[in-house]
């Protein structure tokens, strides 16, 4: 009598891949420092320097404003910069080539990556919020604001992750990844209302930043962490939730299309 061999389901394969990705992440000191310690350091530094200041007559402290920006920036760093670099490294070291040679479906591989980013980003946000509450008296959002946080977080993570996967294929090698991506992320951080009040930037910089997702992700997070009265201080005098959702979805779709068309498992010289 021949025993029947049952193939593992797609879900089990994706979960197995998630476990592998999480183990790789926790074993990488560099990634752990970049994802968790670096945002904490920035929050501590800016909070210590400007934390007690209030933004005009709004009654909002700079620490409260900074919290929204740091959460948004953390999502971009994890889903875009860190993911793009890690995939580029895996490609250079032939890890992707070996994975592609296995029966693992490509969709399960990417599902594991996306799930890993969601988990790591959620932990990062929790650490930043706890730090803000304990050290800088940051006020927690209301129940309704947490509902807004959920969809802004989901769409922002989707946009950052798909763009990270897409960008990983546009980088020639892992050595160039950090040198290329770090200036891009820094530019977006300083022009998207992360470290400075967005409306205090020159108008042309506001217009440039409005093209990219971090500005809208940060604005969405401000609607979560700042009081409703601050809405009038935004550039458009509104949180623009509808437009925020549309632009984040558009960037997620752009990243997905580019990723599908350009993703490669092998190094360029091996093709």
pLDDT tens per residue across all 271 residues of the chain: 455 556 788 889 889 999 999 998 888 888 888 888 888 888 888 878 776 788 877 888 888 999 999 999 999 999 999 999 999 988 988 889 998 888 888 888 889 988 999 999 999 999 999 999 998 888 999 999 999 999 999 999 999 999 999 999 888 788 888 889 989 999 999 999 998 899 999 999 999 999 999 999 999 999 999 999 899 999 999 999 999 999 999 999 999 999 888 888 887 766 6
What value, to the nearest 5°, has the Cα angle with vertex 62 and ends 185 and 186? 10
Q: How many CB atoms lie within 10 A of CB 105?
A: 13
How many angstroms separate the CA atoms of 177 and 179, rounded? 6
Say what the pLDDT of residue 137 is.
Answer: 87
Say what the pLDDT of residue 243 is.
Answer: 97
């Amino acid at each position: 009598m021949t025993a029947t061999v049952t193939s593992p389901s797609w879900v089990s394969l994706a979960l197995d891949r998630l476990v592998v990705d999480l183990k790789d992440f926790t074993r990488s000191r560099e990634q752990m420092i970049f994802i968790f310690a670096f945002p904490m350091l920035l929050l501590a530094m800016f909070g210590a320097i400007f934390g007690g200041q209030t933004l005009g007559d709004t009654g909002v402290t700079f620490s409260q404003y900074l919290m929204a920006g740091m959460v948004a920036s953390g999502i971009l760093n994890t889903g875009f910069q860190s993911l793009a670099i890690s995939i580029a490294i895996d490609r250079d070291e032939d890890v992707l080539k070996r994975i592609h040679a296995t029966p693992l479906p490509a969709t399960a591989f990417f599902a594991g990556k996306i799930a890993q980013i969601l988990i790591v980003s959620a932990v990062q946000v929790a650490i930043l919020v706890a730090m803000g509450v304990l050290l800088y008296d940051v006020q927690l959002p209301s129940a309704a604001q947490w509902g807004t946080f959920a969809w802004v977080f989901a769409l922002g993570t989707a946009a950052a992750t798909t763009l990270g996967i897409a960008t990983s294929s546009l980088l020639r090698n892992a050595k160039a990844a950090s040198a290329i991506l770090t200036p891009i992320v820094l530019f977006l951080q300083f022009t998207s209302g992360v470290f400075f009040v967005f409306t205090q930037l020159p108008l042309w910089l506001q217009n440039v930043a409005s093209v990219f997702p971090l500005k809208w992700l940060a604005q969405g997070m401000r609607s979560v962490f700042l009081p409703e009265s601050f809405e009038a201080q935004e550039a458009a005098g509104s949180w623009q939730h509808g437009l925020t959702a549309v632009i984040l979805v558009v960037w997620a779709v752009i990243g997905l299309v580019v990723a599908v068309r350009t993703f490669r498992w092998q190094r360029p010289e091996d093709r």
